[in-house]
Amino acid sequence: MKEISIGEFARRSRLSLKALRLYDKRGVLMPSRVDQASGYRYYDTAQLDQARLVVMMRQLQLPLAAIKELLACDPADAAERIAAHWREVESAHDARRELADYLVSRLSGKRPVMYEVAVREMPERSLLCLKRNVDEQGQWAFGKQFFGIMRERPLPKIEGREGAVFCIQWGWVGADSDGPVEWCKPVPQAEADALAEQYPQLTLRTEPAHGEVFVALPAAWGPAQWQIAIESVQAWEQEHEDEDVRLALTPEDLGLRITYLATGPVTDPVPDCDFALPFVLER
């Protein structure tokens, strides 16, 4: 192996000096030697292949932390992880395409397809909750954290929809906005106080009895399906204006929610679920 300067390594790898310094700082691609007196970085020519891998992985929009892990993996394992990442990218692209089609139809004056709306009654429930402000990238990690708590120390099961885990989005979470998100697990009321003591990271609260308007979401739902669900529910509200129905959309109410099925098969990566909005009668 031949040792070369950072400038020569940058030229051969087609990476900028700025990128190489960043990769060194993040532990992704570190020089083989740093001169203690001058601070100059030197690389082995054998690292050029690794540098090219980093370039290709960045073109797939993999974050540096993920690239660092992949470079340390067995090649076969790394290949599988990259394949899984690309499947997620394609799924996200399909979801954006559906949203674009939906927007084109709406702006062209075409009536979009609506989901079937149903109504259910939910009883008063004791909930163990975890609430946090998250951005678009952080919300799935937050959900995984909550389900991780449930797997480590499973809580008593309540049968039926009223026992299902659900996630409340108190504010819009998107590319330009973070918002409060709250994960909730109903627990038996008689055991609620004792269970809360066993889960100090969770907050115990009581949700009042209420009605919910809901639509079933497809297994592979994305932004387009989410928007259609919202508009389907809003259309239902308009149809029931004479009955003095008001959807509960404000923070002091009960919040927009996704309810994850308590029973039945779970799809990967997103469990079967429905979109629901609580409502009140203003008579």
Helix (H/G/I), strand (E/B), else coil: 210: strand
Q: What is the CATH number of the domain that holds 157?
A: 3.20.80.10
CB 226 within 8 A of CB 264: no
Residue 206 one-letter amino acid: T
Q: Does 235 share its domain with 152?
A: yes
Q: Which of these three, 86, 112, 138, is where a domain ends?
A: 112
CA distances from 218 to 97, 162, 235, 273 (A): 16, 20, 19, 8
Q: Does 131 share its domain with 230?
A: yes
Estimate the crossing angle of helix 64-72 against helix 47-59, to 10 degrees.
140
- Give residue 84's domain range: 75-112
Q: Does 58 share its domain with 186?
A: no
Q: Does 41 share its domain with 87?
A: no
What pTM, to 2 d.p., does this model score?
0.60
Q: Does 28 share its domain with 153?
A: no
Q: Does 101 share its domain with 163?
A: no
CB 213 within 8 A of CB 247: yes
Question: Tell me, what's the pLDDT at 174?
Answer: 66
Question: Tell me, what's the pLDDT at 269?
Answer: 45
Provide the number of structural domains found in the chain: 3
Rounded to 5 degrees, φ, ψ at 189 are -60, -35
Helix (H/G/I), strand (E/B), else coil: 211: strand
Q: Does 236 share its domain with 122?
A: yes
Q: Does 180 share its domain with 219?
A: yes
Question: Tell me, what's the pLDDT at 221?
Answer: 67
Q: Which two tokens stand for residue 66?
A: 């993920």
Q: Which of these three, 13, 44, 72, is where a domain ends?
A: 72
Q: Taking the chain, what is the end-to-end CA distance rounded to the nearest angstrom?
A: 82
Q: Does 25 share its domain with 89?
A: no
Neighbouring residues of 32: CB distance < 8 A, sequence distance ≥ 6: 3, 42, 43, 44, 47
CB 217 within 8 A of CB 170: no
Q: Does 134 share its domain with 184?
A: yes
Residue-level pLDDT, tens digit, the chain, 283 residues: 688 999 999 988 888 899 999 999 999 999 999 988 888 999 999 999 999 999 999 888 888 999 999 999 898 999 999 998 888 787 777 767 777 877 787 788 776 667 788 888 889 999 999 998 888 778 778 888 898 888 888 888 888 888 889 999 887 776 666 778 999 999 999 999 999 999 999 999 999 888 888 888 766 666 667 777 888 887 887 777 766 666 665 545 778 888 886 444 444 444 478 888 887 655 4
DSSP code at position 31 = -
Q: Does 8 share its domain with 60?
A: yes
